[in-house]
Amino acid sequence: MINNIFISVFTDKENAEKTEDALKKFVPFNLEEKKLKIDTKRSSGFGEKEIIVKSIEINKMQLAKKTFEHITAMLDENSRIVIFNTIESRLSDDFHFFIRLDKIKMLEGEAVVTDSGDCFHIKASITSFPQKKESAIEELRELFVP
């Protein structure tokens, strides 16, 4: 059902290491063993403050599926309910499914859904059979049943 998954987060220089450690918690396997790595990009924000973007992209279907299942298992009950009730708005017409998890809570070890911009962004490409939005929504609902 999951073709690939992309997880990203914005951080600053002071919190880059802690944020990267939290990013690794989304992946249920050793990145090096699977020949994957965390990508780091740098940019300038307001007042020329450095912004760091950390991301992981997993294109192997089996690993992407394991990662998505691991992320869903990390969610607290309230987050599962929120996602279950908003599945349709989280699934784009091109079958990308989006979840945002609160960055501060995640740094504390809690996976909590948020609508704020200070978050870990998760984008999963969904395949369903037949390839219809209604089918994908039904399959996703099964994963997030509260």
**CATH number of the domain where residue 25 is located:** 3.30.1440.10
> How many domains would you assign to the chain?
1
d(CA 138, CA 49): 43
Residues whose CB is less than 8 angstroms from the CB of residue 130 and which lie 6 or more positions away in sequence, other chains included: none
Please state the separation of Cα 144 from the chain's center in Å.
Answer: 15
- Strand positions, DSSP E, 12-146: 39-44, 50-58, 96-102, 119-126
Q: For 99-123, how does the pLDDT look when each residue is reduced to its tens digit (9 = 90+)?
A: 999 999 999 999 999 998 899 999 9
Q: What is the pLDDT of residues 15-39, one digit of tens each?
A: 999 999 999 999 999 999 999 999 9
- For residue 93, the SS3 value is coil
pTM, whole model, 2 decimals?
0.93
Cα distance between residue 109 and residue 27, in whole Å: 14
